[in-house]
Amino acid sequence: MKAIEINTKTDKFGHLKINYSMNEKESNVRVIILVDEKDDDLDEEKLWMKSISSNPTFDF
């Protein structure tokens, strides 16, 4: 398996566009997207933890 790293940016709508030509047509590919973490992500995690901690479904 071969790995290709492409650095790109999202547009003003948050869409990711990759313009990369490969010499293999009609091949299966796997795309892995890694996003830099920001402080905002930590706030979402805290909110999620708070919501499940008060949910009776998780009272075990």
In whole angstroms, what separates CA 22 from the centre of its chain? 23
pTM: 0.44
pLDDT tens, per residue, the chain with 60 residues: 677 888 888 889 988 888 888 888 888 888 888 877 665 556 778 888 888 888 777 776
Q: Which residue's structure tokens are 């992500």?
A: 41
Q: Give the per-residue SS3 of 6-18.
A: CCCCECCCCCECC
